[in-house]
Amino acid sequence: MNKMKKINLTYMFLLFSGVVLAQTGQTVNKGILYVSPGTLVSVESDFDNTDLGEYENNGEVLLKGNFNNDGITTYNPSYAGYTRFEGYTQQNITGSIPADFNNVLFYNSNQQPAFRLYGDISISGNADFYNGIVQNDVFGGIIIFENEATHTNTSDDSFVDGHVIKTGYNNFTYPIGDGQYYRYAAISAPEEISDSFTAKYYMEDSNALYPHENRAQEIELIDGREYWTIERTEGEADVLVTLSWDEFTTTPSELLVEPTEAIRVVRWDEDSQMWVDEGGVQDMFDRTVTTPVHVSGYGVFTLGRLRRGYLPTEDIIIYNGVTPDGDGQNDYFYIEGITAHPGNTVQIFNRWGVMVFETAEYDSHGNVFDGVSSGRATVTQKDKLPAGTYFYVIQYPNQGGTVKKTGYLYISTE
């Protein structure tokens, strides 16, 4: 078995003579520092990569002190470069230049927040939030997750307290929280690798800044304990938005009572200066609500609840399984009672928010969804859709208003 070479920079810095210097308890790089694959470097003191430094980590580097980057911090994508922040005390991450990391571990059980992020860091592999809160809210740094970057082990003990940027075309769950609570938000996959969205969680009442009395008439309640910001920072793509809840810690219990289909994603609309309903598909197991279509704008989001008069009537029963195999059972999306509501519309979207079916006066004259696209955006008309999970949006007039019903639709080939 191959053994990893271990180098301790505090005591063995002369192996990098002319490149790494020990000064007043610091390890200072003023030249080229290359950590080769299969090498473990343990930095017992603070590590300063100066404006003259070029630091490339293709092995494994254990940082037990503060980290500063004013030069080049990078890695070779061909190798699994790994940076471990495991401090003896709280660790400051500073620098005037963003530091590029592949895989990162945050593991520090000292006084929280264990990591104070003053500079920007970019992660292209996986960020393991094993233990310790990364605080950038008051220090000004930002964590950037590049395309296909991931994170693991987020919890109330380890998350990012502040802004997180995600770039690229993958769906993403933001590892964000506030105080001592991990309270994530998520977006569906954008279209381009250059698309970028920024999110942050606030464990605060939004009412002072965004008055709850200014809301659309169908919204009965607005979460007064927490809110999120999700901004489109680069590109023109639109996404679905998912918010999480926790009735045991931060989310008001009155928002989550039956009927649960009343739980919605609501957004503060800057143009109208009011809260608007962005819809909601509830997942009671994961304790999330997702907009069934692309949101109509970005900015401030939180949880809300619809008034009863705007919920679907009891004479509408939705059968959300479709097996379009021609056996006469579940061959199309069946909505019992929909024909009793003239003026209805039905829309179906895939998990990227692309509309694959749209019609009015559903279930009249064979006007049904049978697993075939009616064509829009990137979906070709008359294509048989693949098995998987979709979203439906059913709307119809009722008692002078418009009722909107949203939920999951499952297409199966078995």
Q: Provide the pLDDT for residue 25.
A: 62
* pLDDT computed for residue 397 by the predictor: 86
Kindly report the pTM of this predicted structure.
0.83
| β-pair type (227-234, 281-283) | unpaired
156 vs 311 pLDDT, higher one: 156
Q: What Cα–Cα distance (Å) separates residue 48 from each residue in 10, 68, 99, 182? A: 13, 5, 12, 31
- Give 23-66 pLDDT, tens digit per residue: 456 889 999 999 999 999 999 999 999 999 999 999 999 999 99
Counting Cα atoms < 13 Å in the Cβ hemisphere of 214 gives 15
pLDDT value at position 20?
45
Mean pLDDT in residue range 86-111:
96
Angstrom distance (rounded) from CA 121 to CA 144: 6
Per DSSP, 237 falls in state -
Report the C-alpha gap between 239 and 365 in whole angstroms: 34
What DSSP string runs through 104-167?
EEEE--SSSS-EEE-S-EEESSEEEEEE--EE-TTT---EEE-TT-EEE--BTTB-EES-EEEE
Summarised one tens digit per residue, pLDDT across range 351-404 is 888 889 999 999 877 789 988 887 554 455 567 889 998 999 998 887 777 788
Supply the pLDDT for residue 51. Answer: 95
Quick check: 264 pLDDT over 60? yes
The helix or strand, by DSSP H or E, that contains position 83, with its residue range, turns out to be strand 82-85
Residue 13 in this model has a pLDDT that exceeds 50:
no
DSSP labels for 336-403? Answer: ETGGGSTT-EEEEE-TTS-EEEEEESTTSTT----SB---BTTBPTTPBPPSEEEEEEEEEEETTEEE
- Contact of 47 with 67, CB cutoff 8 Å: yes
